[in-house]
Structure 1
Amino acid sequence: MITCHVRYVIDPYQLAEFEAYAKAWIAVVQRLGGTHHGYFLPSEGASNIAHCLFSFPSLADYEAYRQAALGDPQSVALVDSVVEKKFILSYERSFMRPLLS
């Protein structure tokens, strides 16, 4: 299993926009074969940092998801909304493997 961790720098004045985006992406990831572990939004401390975690059985499965997302109308619309509204200022993506009991 491979888990993708994304650290977002968001516009704290557009948190509602980011929340709507996040909820929609959870469904996209699940529909395209992944397991989404959720988004983690600002609460205390920094108000402009959010995180998400989602997993695929392998890196090859993740790459297949990325290709499928490029042609998926819902994911394309979500990316377009980020470009238009600029509620995500930047993001960093890293990959991890879980250590489970």
Structure 2
Amino acid sequence: MVTCYLRYVIDPLKLDDFEHYARLWIPLVERFGGAHHGYFLPHEGPNNIAVALFSFPTLAAYEAYREKAADDPDCQDAMRHYEKTQCYLSYERSFMRPVLQAYG
């Protein structure tokens, strides 16, 4: 499994717009085979940092999602929402491998 970690620098004055953007993407990632672990919005600490986490079985599965998402009308609508609102200023993407507790 590979988990995509997205760290956004958001515009705190557009938090509602960013939350709407986040809610659009959660089911889209899941539609294309990912497991979305949620978006995490500022609560205490910096008011301009948000995080999203979602996993795919393999990096190849993530790349297939990216290809399919590029042509999907709902994904394009989500991107238009971002383009209209500019609710985040930048983002960083990292891929991580989770270590999970073994049950025995």
Could you say which TM-score interval applies, normalised by the shorter chain? over 0.9
Query: Tell me, which stretches of 5 or more residues in structure 1 are unaligned?
Result: none
Deviation at 1:83, TM superposition (A): 1.6
Larger Rg: 2
Aligned residues: 101
Supply the RMSD in Å over aligned alpha carbons: 0.6
SS in 2 for 1:18: helix
TM-score norm. by structure 2 comes to 0.95
SS in 2 for 1:37: strand
Deviation at 1:33, TM superposition (A): 0.6
Query: Tell me, which stretches of 5 or more residues in structure 2 are unaligned?
Result: none
Listed as ranges, the matches of 1:1-101 within 5 Å are: 1-101=1-101
Q: Deviations along 1:69-93, whole A, 9 cap, x unmatched?
A: 0011111111122122111100000
SS in 1 for 2:94: strand
List, as ranges, runs of 4+ consecutive aligned residues in structure 1 with deviation greater than 3 Å: none
